[in-house]
Structure 1
Amino acid sequence: MSVRDSGGSGRAKAVSRAPVSFGAFARKPVERNAVHAAAGPAPGIEAVEALPDDAVEVGAIVDAYGLKGWVKVAAHAGATQGGDALTSAKCWWLVKGREMKSAPVVAAKTHSDTIVAQLSGAGDRDQALALRGWRVYVRRSDFPALDADEFYWVDLIGLEVVNEAGVALGSVADLIDNGAHAVLRVEYPSQGKDGQSVTGERLIPFVGVYVKAVDQAAKRIVVDWEADY
């Protein structure tokens, strides 16, 4: 069982019409030199009023690459650990402040630990440099398909967590990358020593020893974890 993380902070916020961040663990490495090219002519980069409802932040443009308008992207998941969400999408959405743009992808590939891409309408280095600092989003529906035992972080946020005895432990607020595996950060209502309502927290490793079932349809994760752990 594995979960796809966003790298970096590894944060994935609940969907509420606003775009979210995602990530990916244990991603099968993509071909480092494979170039994914879009078929046929594409329109240029254009301003848009809003992002798609399922837009997910996957990286940020950090520099130009070469002299022909290619950009370099720091992928939240790492180039070979989920960065193929960037190389597989035919269109990116770019956000900087309140500005939003759609950017058709002409070609994209992994390059060392980054993603490099040619966006339609960016024909030289100066145009590519002008895109530095823009955050990159792709549609959740454009993410590569996963195996049966793999999950994207963004799909786990908000799921109810119960143990095998049916005791509710809270809901997934976030996931943490500890280097070896993902950890579910589960929040639940509690009471402080002063009697005031507080939010409690449980950290449950996302590994088969503890996570017994993930039912996305039922929005529930079943774990081998006691409420007093």
Structure 2
Amino acid sequence: MTADSRLILVAQIAGGFGVKGEVRVTAYTAEPMALMAYGPLLRADGSVGLTLTSARPDKNGVVGRAKEIATKEEADALRGLKLHIPRDRLPAPDEDEFYLTDLVGLQARDPAGVVLGAVRSVQNFGADDMLEIAPAAGGPTWYLPFTREAVPDVHIADGWLLAVRPVEVGEREPD
């Protein structure tokens, strides 16, 4: 799968709304109404999950009608369904900007240029984004905070980022 055909998580079905078959969708996009512009929202396997035909903003996303849902019960049955779009449906980022998903697969290099591993995923456990790094030498993955201090340089086009590992508790900083 090419980088531009990867599926990007953009929303999740929260369940039915009202009694007339509307569905509540939690949006993971900066602008929730953008879900209408993306076309059919896909399941993780690439099949169509939800096609919004109308929507209005809601506190966590949108409430709307979908081609696949006629009743509240049908909407509730899809609760929890994660909805994706192909990466190429997202607008191109501004210069010097990127999507977090574009970090996946980049080499993580230390300040001396040594390859530490590759970005396996970007996670957020509630505080800040964390890069999950799969070590080049194998073994368990480790996490790097996605902050300016820990990742001062990102070179998407060249396929790498600079990774400055934080000093572990009990370690001394190099002289």
Higher strand proportion (structure 1 or 2): 1
Higher helix proportion (structure 1 or 2): 2
Distance 2:164 2:77 in 1: 50
The RMSD of aligned alpha carbons is 3.5
Greater RCO, 1 or 2 (C-alpha within 8 Å, sep 6+): 1
| Partner SS, residue 207 of structure 1 | coil
Aligned to 2:114: 167
Aligned to 1:8: none
Distance 1:146 1:66, change over 3 A: farther
Alpha-carbon distance, 1:92 to partner: 1.4
Q: Is this contact kept in 1: 2:129–2:146, CA < 8 A?
A: yes
Choose from 154, 158, 176 the match for 2:101. Answer: 154
TM-score by length of 2: 0.70
Q: Is this contact kept in 2: 1:174–1:186, CA < 8 A?
A: yes
1:139 corresponds to 2:91:
no
Aligned to 1:106: 53
Q: Flag structure 2 segments of 5+ consecutive residues without an equivalent.
A: none
Q: Flag structure 1 segments of 5+ consecutive residues without an equivalent.
A: 1-15, 18-51, 191-197
Distance 1:120 1:149, change over 3 A: same
1:215 corresponds to 2:164:
no
Choose from 12, 16, 31 the match for 1:64. Answer: 16
AA matched with 1:118? R
Distance 1:152 1:160 in 2: 16
1:98-131 deviations in Å (ceiling 9; x for gaps): 8943643222343112432321353443543454
AA matched with 1:215? H
TM-score by length of 1: 0.57
Q: Is this contact kept in 1: 2:22–2:65, CA < 8 A?
A: yes
Q: Is this contact kept in 1: 2:129–2:145, CA < 8 A?
A: yes
Aligned to 1:90: 39
| Overall identity of the aligned pairs, in % | 26
